[in-house]
Amino acid sequence: MRVFRPIGIVLLGSALIACASHKPRPTSSSQPPASTPRGASLPLDTARPQSERYRQNDDNGPAAPPIDVSKIPEPVPKSEPRSRYGNKETYSVLGQTYKLLPDASGYVERGIASWYGNKFHGYMTSSFEPYDMYAFSAAHKTLPLPSYARVTNLDNGKSVIVRVNDRGPFHENRIIDLSYAAAVKIGVWPKGTGVVEVRAIDPAHPQADTPPSRSAAVAPVPAKPASEASRVASLSTPPSRAPSAPADVPRIYLQLGAYGERANAERAVANATRAGIDRVAIQSVLVDGHTVHRVRVGPLADVDAADAMTRRIEQLGLGAPRVAIER
């Protein structure tokens, strides 16, 4: 879920506050329905406290019955000039600095998706376009604005093409924030989160847009652009202590670090084990001809378990882990 919509990139550092995944909350009678016409926008007073900038405090879906997303056309990828807003080369939010990708070509990433809806409907996105929760759109931290991507729910194989026109989600362990409609289409709503693959679409070569097969056996893919991931060859299987899972079920790991020297990885494992972290092991992979030793915890049962483990790891002073999805 998202907690704000900035007025252009100039306000990005001060206006962007943590985007968080959530479990949908019932719409109370005190919360007005989303009635802002498409194309219209609502003012965002960034001088006011974050809690007072929007017409309602909590985010949710529309007050009306669920929409029929099958009647909503998916965006057709096309070449567009970069937005004047939201494309600063680097920017910082909540102490974290993000660097914009030079282009979307070859980008593939697996991780956890969240969604945002009624609270932000009609307010400006980072690209200075009004957010429409009934359109297939999304927010991403580093893809150029606008760009197009196919988002696939790895749990059920459902996918949707989205137009990325916003920044976020600024919540640990989230890679994309889907519009309400997009979340409904692939089954992320009403659950709140989903394990997904995000694959950028090149408008000049849309035929390269192929959703992943649920049953296909694939090598572990880190939460990195495909330009690196496509060169990764697995040298070891997931930790033998981890419970087995069907090949088509996505498995969630938390990566504590990646090391060129195995001795350093072994020290990281020892530190985590002494701190009481279970199921932590080394996975060695070949990246660009060099062996990299990844220290990972898992697999974890679900997104909630991953979030809880992330908080625990950070509280123990072991750093901020990142999500890695394997199938």
Q: Are residues 84 and 164 in the same domain?
A: yes
220 part of a folded domain: no
| Residue at token pair 């002073």 | 317
Within this chain, do residues 194 and 74 fall inside the same structural domain, yes or no?
yes
Residue 251 pLDDT > 50 = yes
Handedness of CA 140, 130, 147, 327 (dihedral sign): positive
What pTM was computed for the model?
A: 0.73
Amino acid in the structure at residue 310? T
- Is residue 293 in a domain? yes
Same domain as 165, residue 231: no
Query: What are the backbone angles phi and psi of residue 270, rounded to the nearest 5°?
Result: -60, -40
* Domain extent at residue 57: 9-208
Whether residue 160 sits in one domain with residue 62: yes
Q: Is residue 301 part of a domain?
A: yes
How many domains does one find in the chain?
A: 2
Instruction: Return the closest-CA partner of residue 85 out of 179, 162, 14, 12.
Output: 12
- Is 36 in the same domain as 164? yes
Average pLDDT, the chain: 77
Q: Clarify whether residues 28 and 60 are in a common domain.
A: yes
Residue 40, domain member (yes or no): yes
Co-location of 46 and 181 in the same domain: yes
Is the domain of 143 the same as that of 252? no
Give me the mean pLDDT over the 185-205 stretch. 92
Domain boundary among 208, 234, 268: 208
Mean pLDDT across the stretch 276-295? 94
Burial class (CB in 10 A: 0-12, 13-18, 19+), 51: exposed
Same domain, yes or no, for 127 and 153?
yes
* Strand ranges across the sheet with 322-326: 232-234, 280-287, 290-300, 251-259, 322-326
More confident residue, 291 or 119: 291
Confidence of residue 269 (pLDDT cuts 50, 70, 90): very high
The pLDDT score that the predictor gives to residue 292 is 96
Domain membership of residue 216 (yes or no) is no
Of the three residues 174, 208, 242, the one that is the final residue of a domain is 208
Of 17-21, 65-69, 245-249, where does the model show the most confidence?
Answer: 65-69
The span from the CA of 54 to the CA of 61, in Å, is: 15
Question: How many Cα atoms are found within 13 Å in the side-chain-facing hemisphere of 287?
Answer: 17
Predicted confidence at residue 2, as pLDDT, reads: 52
Together in a domain, 317 and 181 = no
pLDDT of residue 205: 73
Query: Domain containing 27 — which CATH number?
Result: 2.40.40.10
Q: Are residues 168 and 293 in the same domain?
A: no
Give a yes or no: residue 255 inside a domain. yes
CB 108, CB 95: distance < 8 Å: no
Has residue 285 been placed in a domain?
Answer: yes
Whether 228 has a pLDDT exceeding 80, the answer reads no
Is the same domain home to 64 and 167? yes
**CATH number (domain holding residue 298):** 3.30.70.1070
Q: Note whether residue 309 is domain-resident.
A: yes
Q: What is the pLDDT of residue 212?
A: 56
pLDDT tens per residue across span 122-169: 888 999 999 999 999 999 999 999 999 999 999 999 999 999 999 999
Looking at 208, 243, 266, the residue that finishes a domain is: 208
